[in-house]
Structure 1
Amino acid sequence: MQEFELPIAWRPDDGVIAHANITAQMRRYQIPSYEAFLQRSVEDPDWFWKAFFDDIGFHWHTPYERTVDLSEGKPFAKWFVGGRLNWTYNALERHVQSGRGEAIALRWEGEEGTVRAYTYAQLLDEVNALARGLQALGVQPGDRVGLFLPFIPETAIALLAVSRIGAIALPLFSGFGPEPIISRMQDAEAEWLFIADGFPRRGKIVPMKETALTALESLPQVKRVIVVARAQRDMRIDPAREVRYTDLLQAGDFEAPAFDSETPCMMIYTSGTTGKPKAALHVHAGFPIKAAQDMYHLFDLKPTDTMSWLTDIGWMMGPWLIMGGLILGATVFMYDGSPDYPAPDRVWDMVERHGVTVLGVTPTLIRALMRESAEYADRHPMPTLRLLGSTGEPWNPEPWLWTLEHVGKNRAPIINYSGGTEISGGILGCTVLRPLKPCSFNTVVPGVDAEALNEQGEPVRDEIGLLVVRNLNPGMTRGFWRDRERYLETYWSRFENLWYHGDLSMIDAEGFWYILGRADDTLKIAGKRVGPAEIESVLVEHPDVVEAGVIGVPDELKGQAAVAFVVLRPGTEFTDALAEALRALVAERMGKPLTPKAVYAVPELPKTRNAKIMRRVIRAAYLGEPTGDLSALENPQSVEAIKALR
């Protein structure tokens, strides 16, 4: 894979290292090096988690007695035994009581240009008012509450208020149609639902409420629907079932109850390769803590920072941003709109206007913005921007280097971050204490003991392996909602007592990690295992190719052969000559045996709403097999174009 051969592209200067959170932590505990810090974080979890809590001032209503209990086995570990807390207290009261009530907690901009901001004191008052209203409505601890909302302040407030009273938030993608809402609400047996009347996209209103009402026809168990007037449409309210968000608010104090550390606060559905979506269950002393810890150690987040991620509440990065950012006392900046509307520099302009210091993107977004001139990014110095984050899919070198140069100005490093919904954040990441190579991860996440194994369970270097986690962390899901066996089969059956994450990974000779795609997307051509991202990275080097998706198909000679699907730059004609040029490029870079058997041009690749290419869907559509669950697809129409190629 050609990015393994690229040199160091960014190095930290002395100032970055001196002011990093980890540097301060190492100094405080007299740890001589980052390597020693990593080792201690894994070998001594009692110390590691207590040190983190002490360093950020985390509040336990009742201190925990034991860090982790393994009496039911590693898959069912219980964390911070005996401890009682409410994660929302740590996101709100803790900051107000420490004298930071007037600091900005939440800032939001809508696509139409509206801007709103909440101090920590104001946000606490609003969350308390909604918590009181939800209790008056009849929401009980343990109830599941759907959040079908765009990325607006009320979404963060609802997430906080639902957790605050002991109920379980169920985030739903704002772009869902009725069917995925129905399937998730039914599976969760959710009785309450937040919706918005609509939201603007590219100057038009997306009618969310109509979608929700269609879904509700099949959800008789839903008792009440809370309607947020995002689009300010003149919507009629059915008083028997609906209540306006503003009418639900009840001003007054609300004392956050303390819950056992293992009390559920959220369930997030994530798509499987087969079967129905699975709901990862997360608890008060799980997801919020892991999100904050990753931000503290990898993204170097401080109370003086403004952090933004271009995301949705239905992708784990939405709750991750809200929970972790507020626990650490930073300003969370939310944007509800298209990143290139009304102009291609919308995001860069917002970074400047709102003083964003940490910005999260995806490689897919960068590839899309690269279609326009780099001048749109170059015209914005973005002096406050000190870190970039990326997750969701592997990079290829060209957009990574473009981002470092034109967005980061060769100053702000790209914190590559990989993990998942089921683990509440990262397994692999980057630290500002070490140099960066394009597309790589320069560290495991502190507190995580990760490894790349071959099929026999042996560690490998300089070759593709299977990503596993050998230890435990509190962010790991407490299981799938009412599906114990599927949880065990998915993560704990591949290797004994190891969390098998399902990603292909590689560690190079210098210790840099790479993620090469999902293991179930692996190709085995003429006996050689290859990740699809390796071939895709070569294809997108061609100037006419914007994106690529590669699958393996049965082949009598090789066992499997690669077939490539490419999205071309606007105005490019797909010809036999171009297809042959792309095949030749792969042959030159990867070796003749890995040359794609065929190359097809398609208008778009099937993707989830968090920008992951759905290769299993491409494969099934191309081979005429059942495509399985498509509810997470952003663009289901893309499947028909692939079927037509058969």
Structure 2
Amino acid sequence: MAAASHKPLGAITADDLAAAAPGVDAAALHAALRRALDSRAGAGDPAAVWGELCRSLLRPDVPFAVHRMLYYGCFAGFPSPTPPAWTPDPKEAALTNVGRVMEVRGRELLGDAYKDPITSFPDLYKFSNENPEAYWRMVFEDMGVEFSVEPSCIWRESDAYPGGEWLPGAELNAAANCLNAKPGRSSQDVAIVWRDEGKDSEPLNFMTLEELRKKVCLVANALDALDLPKGSAIAIDMPMNVNAVVIYLAIVLAGYVVVSIADSFAAPAISTRLKISEAKAIFTQDYILRDDKELPLYSRVVEAKAPMAIVIPVRGSLPIKGLRVSDLSWQDFLGRVNDTKVENYAAVKQPAYAFTNILFSSGTTGEPKAIPWTHITPLKAAADGWCHMDIRKGDVVVWPTNLGWMMGPWLVYASLLNGASMALYNGSPNSSGFAKFVQDAKVTMLGLVPSIARTWKNTDCTAGFDWSAIRCFSSSGEASSVDDYLWLMGRACYKPVIEYCGGTEIGGGFVAGSLLQPQALSAFSTPAMGCNLFILDGSGNPLPQDSVGIGELALDPVLFGSSTTLLNADHQEVYFNGMPEWNGKVCMVFLACF
């Protein structure tokens, strides 16, 4: 950060502030700065001083140059290159999912070593690896996960799986769990809130959990009317809107397998994914609307020589022209359902390792890897959201993404399995319309990739919007910038950014942050719960845990939710061959991050 090159906080003058931000009332800002330094916090450590500045002075309308000057001045000479930009408050920490459970069960889980949620968080991380039976049962119970057939145990050794077998004997349906009311919530609570681009001054749209259930059941019944064999792969090539989410859940509920295709792909990329997955049908739209422009989508599907397509008209009830003989309009597809089956559907109970979704790596270095998700993988995604982003009932969660990439399904499961509302903006996130949507929907967890934050900062399109409902941000997909994320935190009164890194192969993250730990900018604070990390030395052997080192990352294969097969490659060869052993098991190499 090179904080030492910046003027210490106590040496900053009104003239310095005026030079950094011409036109501001530098004298008033300097007086407020002096009051913060003279307060009780001013006698403490730099993190306490910074917290006081965030509370008393650094409003979103204060020019960012002032935020930056005070941040670097506060931590000038700090001994660590990653000073905390946010520090948890003990009272708020006790209200998080993890804090609440630890306050009740901390001594039961950790014994006399338990102190409080913040102090004992590292002990809980170790517990999650050393006692997976107790940890995962606790998480499933708190999330309200329902099994059609209970597992005989949480984990056991198995020659069939490199990391052992999870949830042996269990049967469940991940989509059905999304449609059940969670503890403390009712079927009339909001499941999805959305707005379409160009309608930014209109009221928000809401769908209750019960309304979502009925729509999913309707589509599931219509799928059965296609007479495809259960387990068939069915693709989705659409923007991530309400219809796409309904279709996604219906495919899983009815015992079929989603094939995820990003709506930005050209025909050759669509064709490749359809062939690898052997998809029997595909859901798409006639167009994608952006800035009132019609970007063709169905025509790309046709060019890819896709199988039967079910095509949704983006402009409501207008008929779609030029459908192939084998294709169906959305209206005709739904019209195949018997009226007596419209609102109910018995979820297909599936073994835990049955496929729910086929996702793909980017394919930038060759044919994309086809990575199946099972009914276990959604629980990993939701558990990460439960622990690391603290997604809980009453929250509103938004993450601009697409079902073609893993963060799309992640958003579905991390929000609905935790009893939160999913927020969808059908348009570009790089706009004031999206910023207004975050305000109007009272978003509490805002996920993004760093390039979006950079665009917001450069265009100032978030100016004037109230983001004070946000409790945390989360970031994945790219390397983030300290300055960009300092700016981002300032838009929401300095709420933390939870960095999150993992991949499609594990359905979530292997390293992250937590609301029970201080958070530095563009830095991780903890491995993901239930995940052992290793750094390999120059000889390819794991360094002792908790030691400092630089090298290739490897993962303990005993990782809940991780993939066990690839459709078009040898899973063992790709992830395990040539890797060292740890604790009697071959470590897993990690190739791709999201």
- Would you call these one fold, judging by a TM-score over 0.5? yes
Which position in structure 2 is the counterpart of 1:420?
A: 503
Secondary structure in 1 aligned to 2:437?
A: helix
Please state how far the C-alpha of 1:307 moved relative to its aligned partner.
Answer: 0.3
Q: 1:35 aligns with which of 116, 122, 136?
A: 122
Counterpart Cα distance in 2 of 1:291 and 1:486:
21
Q: Does 1:126 align with 2:215?
A: yes
Cα RMSD, aligned residues only: 2.2
Aligned pair 1:391/2:484, yes or no?
no
What amino acid maps onto 1:443 in structure 2? T
**Residue 265, structure 1, aligned to residue 338, structure 2:** no
Q: State the distance in 2 between where 1:99 and 1:416 align.
A: 29
Contact 1:42 1:448 in 2 (8 A): yes
- For 1:225, what is the secondary structure of its paired residue? strand
Structure 2: how far apart are the matches of 1:426 and 1:61? 27
Aligned match of 1:601 = none
Q: Is 1:15–2:91 an aligned residue pair?
A: yes
The 5 Å alignment of 1:530-541 reads none
For residue 513 of structure 2, the aligned residue among 422, 425, 430 is: 430
Task: Indicate whether 1:205 and 2:294 are aligned.
Answer: yes
**1:185/1:487 Cα in 2 relative to 1: closer, same or farther (>3 Å)?**
farther
Specify the alignment match of 1:458 in structure 2. 542
Per-residue deviation, 1:99 = 6.1
Residues 480 and 487, structure 1, Cα contact 8 Å, conserved in 2: no
Cα 1:94–1:350 shift into 2, 3 Å: closer
Shift of residue 378, structure 1, vs aligned partner: 4.2
Residue 441 of structure 1 aligns with which residue? 524
Find the aligned partners of 2:322 and 2:91 in 1 and give their Cα distance.
56
Confirm or deny: 8 A CA contact 1:197 1:231 kept in the other structure: no
Are 1:242 and 2:327 an aligned pair? yes
Say if 2:143 is the partner of 1:56: yes
Find 2:241's aligned residue among 152, 158, 164.
Answer: 152
1:143–1:352 distance in 2 versus 1, CA, 3 Å: same
Identity of aligned residues (%): 25
- Structure-2 change in CA distance of 1:99 and 1:353 (3 Å): closer
Do 1:307 and 1:358's aligned partners in 2 also have CA atoms closer than 8 Å? yes
Trace 1:501-580 onto structure 2 (pairs within 5 A): 501-502=590-591
Q: CA deviation at 1:371?
A: 1.6
What's the offset of the Cα at 1:15? 2.9
1:68 matches 2:142: no
Cα distance in 2 between the residues matched to 1:49 and 1:324: 16
Instruction: Return closer, same or farther for 1:252/1:304 CA change in 2, 3 Å cut-off.
Output: closer
Equivalent residue number for residue 138 of structure 1:
227
SS of aligned partner of 2:591: strand
CA distance in structure 1 between the partners assigned to 2:127 and 2:549 by the alignment: 27
Deviations 1:101-152 (A, max 9, x none): 1101012222232753211101100100100000011132211111001111
Shift of 1:189: 1.0
Change in Cα spacing, 1:209 to 1:391, as seen in structure 2 (3 Å) is same
1:446: Cα distance to partner? 1.1
User: Which of residues 93, 100, 104 in structure 2 aligns to 1:24?
Assistant: 100
Q: Is the 8 A contact 1:58 1:90 kept in 2?
A: yes
Higher relative contact order (CA 8 A, sep 6+): 2
Matched, 1:310 2:400: yes
Question: What is the CA distance between 1:482 and its match in structure 2?
Answer: 4.2
- Within 5 Å, which residues of 2 pair with 1:253-332? 253-272=344-363, 274-284=365-375, 286-332=376-422
Q: Does residue 339 in structure 1 map to residue 429 in structure 2?
A: yes
Deviation string 1:589-610 (CA, Å, 9 cap, x unpaired) is: xxxxxxxxxxxxxxxxxxxxx8
| Greater Cα shift, 27-36 or 323-332 | 27-36
Task: Tell me what 1:577 maps to.
Answer: none
Give per-residue Cα distances to partners, 1:60-83, cap 9 Å, x unaligned.
Answer: 111100223432255364320111
**Which runs of no fewer than 5 residues in structure 2 stay unpaired?**
4-79, 115-119
Alignment-mate amino acid for residue 97 of structure 2: N
Q: Distance in 1 between matches of 2:355 and 2:568?
A: 13
Cα shift at 1:449: 1.2
Give the equivalent residue in structure 1 for 2:21. none
**What is the DSSP-based 3-state SS (H/G/I as helix, E as strand, rest coil) of the residue aligned with 2:84?**
coil
3-state SS, counterpart of residue 75 of structure 1: coil
Change in Cα spacing, 1:98 to 1:368, as seen in structure 2 (3 Å) is: closer
- Show CA shifts across 1:569-607 (max 9, x none): xxxxxxxxxxxxxxxxxxxxxxxxxxxxxxxxxxxxxxx
Partner in structure 1 of residue 462 of structure 2:
377
C-alpha contact 1:467 1:502 (8 A) present in aligned 2: no
Paired with 2:357 and 2:447, the residues of 1 have a C-alpha distance of 22
Q: Deviations over 1:490-534 (max 9, x none)?
A: 45533341111137xxxxxxxxxxxxxx8xxxxxxxxxxxxxxxx
Q: 2:172 aligns with which of 85, 106, 114?
A: 85
Unaligned runs of 5+ in 1: 504-517, 519-609, 611-646
CA distance in 2, matches of 1:60, 1:81: 12
Distance 2:390 2:184 in 1: 21
Q: Deviations over 1:158-180 (max 9, x none)?
A: 11011111111011101111000
Residues 181 and 419 in structure 2, CA contact (< 8 A), matched pair in contact too: no
* Residue identity matched to 1:425: G
The residue type equivalent to 2:379 in the other structure is I
Is 1:167 aligned to residue 253 of structure 2?
A: no
AA partner of residue 397 (structure 2): M
Number of the residue aligned with 2:587? 498
Q: How far off its partner does 1:335 sit? A: 1.6
Counterpart in 2 of 1:225?
309
* Cα offset, 1:487, TM superposition: 4.8
Contact 1:10-1:436 at 8 Å conserved across structures: yes
Q: Deviations over 1:318-340 (max 9, x none)?
A: 11001221111110011221123
Between 275-284 and 472-481, report the one with greater CA deviation: 472-481
Give the superposition deviation at 1:478: 2.3
For 2:349 and 2:226, how far apart are their aligned partners in 1?
Answer: 21
The one of 551, 554, 566 equivalent to 1:468 is 554
Aligned-residue offset at 1:401: 1.4
Q: Match for 1:309: what amino acid?
A: W
- How far off its partner does 1:279 sit? 0.8
Check conservation: 1:195, 1:227, Cα contact below 8 A. Answer: yes
Change (3 A) 1:370 1:98: closer
The CA deviation string for residues 440-480 of structure 1, in whole angstroms up to 9 with x for no partner, is 11111111111222232232754422222124223201211
Match of 1:409 in 2: 493
In structure 2, distance between residues paired with 1:109 and 1:197: 20
